[in-house]
Structure formats: C-alpha cells, structure tokens
Homo-oligomer: A and B are copies of this chain.
Amino acid sequence: MNDFTFVTPTKIYFGKNAEDKLAEVLNEFGFKRVFLLHGCGSIKKIGLYDKIIKILKSGFVYEEVSGVRANPEIGLVREALAKAKVFKPDVILAVGGGSVLDTAKSIAAGYYYDGDPFDFNLKKVVCKKSLPVGSILTISAAGSELSDSCVIQNDELHIKQGFNSDHNRPVFTIENPELTFSVSSYQTAAGVSDIMMHSLERYFGESGPYQLSDEWALDLVRSTMEAGLAALKDPRDYEARAAIMLNSSLSHNGLTGLGKAAPFVVHPLEHALSGYHADITHGAGIALIYPAWAAHVYKKDVKKFAHLTKRVFDKEGANDEETAIIGIRLMKEFFHSIGMPTSFKEVGITKEDLPNLVSLATGNGTRTVGRYPQPLEKEDVEAIFASLLD
C-alpha cells in the first residue's frame, strides 16, 4: 500500500426528482449568489432549465453563462471568468455533464488567480484556492462531479490538458437518473466507455497485496457494462441509468485506485486525439484506443490482464497469456457492440495525421506516456496509433 492523502467531500443527492431539492441544497450550504453555467440547449429541451430558473428566482441571485461545448474550450472560460469576477458568486452551478463541470472548475480556479486560467492546465501554477462548484448532472460519463480533475481544450495550441487538485472537487452534486433517459445511444455508449476506463486506468498500475481497490475497479467495470447494455436496450430503464450514473461518480473520485499509483495512459493518448480533432467524442476515443494499447502492452503483465478477464468476463484460457488475450478481444467486441469506433478510419484520422498525433501525445517526443506496465516511448505510441489504421 502506498502512502496517500485522500478526500472525496462531495455531497451526493441521488434519486428521482433530486433536482427539486436545489433550493434546499443551496440553503444548506448557505449559497445565495449562484453563477449558472450550462451547455448548448439540451437542458431547455428536457424542461430542466425552466425548473432551475424558477427555483433560482424564488430566493437567490443569479448570473448565467451558456454555450459550453463538448471538449470545452478555454475561450469560454475566459469570458465567463470575467463575468464571474464582476458578479462575485458564492457558487458555480454546473448543469450538464463533464464539459460544463470542467468549465465550471476552470472558472472556479481562475477566480482567485490573476493570470490566465489555462496556466493551471499548463502546470505553470498550482491551484491554492477555488470557488465552490456544485452540479446537476444530465449525462453520466465524466465523473467530474466528484473528481479532482479539470480537463480543458485550447484550440489555439491544439492541446487538451487536465490538471488535478483537491480544490477541483465539487461541494455537491444532484443526480437524477431520469434526466439521462433522453441521452442518445451514442452518447450513452461513449459515457459507459469513459466510466469503465476511469477504473481500468486505475486497475492498471502496480498493486500491493490485498489491493481492495483493484477488485472494486473490476466490479465497477463489470456493473457498468451490464447496466450499459440494459440502458441501450431500453433508454428509460431506471435501474440501469441509476447504476451508470452512480458508477460514473465512483469511478473517477479516486476510490478505485486508493493506495496505489496509476498514472493514466489511455486518457492522455485520447486527449491527443480529441485535442487534434475536437469533434471526436472523448469516450469514443477511449474505446478506440484501449484495445490497441492493451494488445501492445499485455505481455509485460499477463497475470493482471488475465485476472481482468476472469473477473469481468468469467472466462479463462489454457494459460494466463491466452486468458489475457481473450479479455482484450472481448473488451474490443463489447465496445464494437455498443457502437464505438474500432479504427481510425471511422473517426476520419488518416496515416498523414499520425506524426502530429504522436507529437501531441509525447510533447514532441520530449516525454513518455503513463508508467504501467512501462512508460510508453515515442515508438510505442507510434505503434499503438499505427495499429488503428488497419
């Protein structure tokens, strides 16, 4: 067991019509001035926007910024931050999914800092203080509602980069699974992939004996796959949507990697992809890269890959290597079955893009990626990406 410090302070209000409690929740925290942040209109379609505005008008003061896009961009953060510094909110209320939450976190961190908010992502400066952030989730995926991470895209620099800080952890999240009934099959599948990967990335790190978090990670992966298939079959399956939503929150707050170090590897590879092609959905990029990464590295730790196969798929080959390979194949088949891409062709990436992608992932060849089972060198990244051209 590694030494660690851990805190996951976010209060979760979970269940049917949980958003009706918004006034109660804000009052519980003593928040009066609310900076409302949302995306590109979907919360209006499901009637959530009107509900929230009615509550906010009933006893709070609010300012509003909308238009947060997928792969959220630093430009909007800068605009919203200027507004927030004038409005002086008690809390930023993010209504939406990971993009809105990460934008809220970026504004919250920038609020007490005089420089550019992307400095945190560029690791030029460390976040010491942040405005409180709360959320009402409308999509299950990012896990940002409990996580310490904040990933922002910089279109100008062609970089998608995150930074981690306990100051990034929201103070509350309101989770009503019914609000995700209208999420499309594609977005649901991408969400499921991302949720799975948040725990898989943590599983694939050096473990000590009795590593409870490894088993918790695999349970979460399995439960998310089962619930994902059910939600794709019936988008209004409450139990399935509820499991996906709760798993999303528990997959990225650190619990499934507690007591071990597991620097992410598939995520940074994917960030190169969606940083370069902002129209690639993050979860789809994740589902695309995982099997290619696994096939490239599994020989370095067949036991760990084999254990995954047994626990997640109840399957076993003649030996650990065979068992490991079965798991990688079944995972790829799962992603394919839920409509995720399995080759670069499907997302419009060609051989000509490869040098740029490799350069983005490796900081122009100046850094390795991840650490487990060994850091990926430039050549490894090239090989993984090249295998996706077929």
Q: Which residues of B contact A210 (CB under 8 A)?
A: 223, 226-227, 230, 239-240, 243
* Contacting residues of chain A (3-22) with chain B, CB-CB under 8 angstroms: 3-16, 18
Report Cα–Cα, A246/B208, bound state, in Å. 13
Contacts of A1 in B (CB 8 A): 14-15, 177, 238-239, 242-243, 246
Q: Is the CB of B9 within 8 A of A7?
A: yes
Contact A259 B9 (CB under 8 A): no
Q: Which residue of B lies closest to A243 (CB)?
A: B210
Q: Could you tell me the distance in whole angstroms from the C-beta of A146 to the nearest C-beta in chain B?
A: 11
Question: Range of interface residues on chain A?
Answer: 35 or more
Q: State A258–B255 Cα separation when bound (angstroms).
A: 14
Stretch at the interface among A54-62, A134-142, A211-219, A360-368: A211-219
Q: Which residue on chain B has the smallest CB distance to residue A5?
A: B13
Q: A212 — nearest CB in chain B belongs to which residue?
A: B223
User: How does the 8 Å CB contact mask read for A314-330 relative to B, with 1 for contact and 0 for none?
Assistant: 00000000000000000
Contact pick for A219, options B18, B212, B243, CB 8 Å: B212
A37, CB-defined interface residue at 8 Å? no
Q: Is the CB of A6 within 8 A of B16?
A: no
Cβ–Cβ contact B209 & A220, under 8 A: no
Query: A43 to chain B: closest CB distance in Å?
Result: 21
Query: Which 5 A-B pairs give the minimum distances between C-beta atoms?
Result: A3-B15, A210-B243, A1-B242, A7-B11, A215-B219
Give 14 pairs: A residue, B residue, CB < 8 Å, sorted on A: A1-B14, A1-B238, A3-B18, A5-B11, A9-B9, A208-B242, A209-B230, A209-B240, A209-B243, A210-B230, A210-B239, A210-B243, A212-B247, A255-B255
Chain A residues packing against B (C-beta within 8 Å): 1-16, 18, 177, 208-210, 212, 215-216, 219-220, 223, 226-227, 230, 238-240, 242-243, 246-247, 250, 255, 258-259
Apart from the given pairs A209-B239, A212-B219, 9 other A-B contacts in the complex at a CB distance below 8 Å = A1-B15, A1-B238, A3-B16, A4-B12, A5-B11, A6-B12, A7-B10, A212-B223, A216-B216
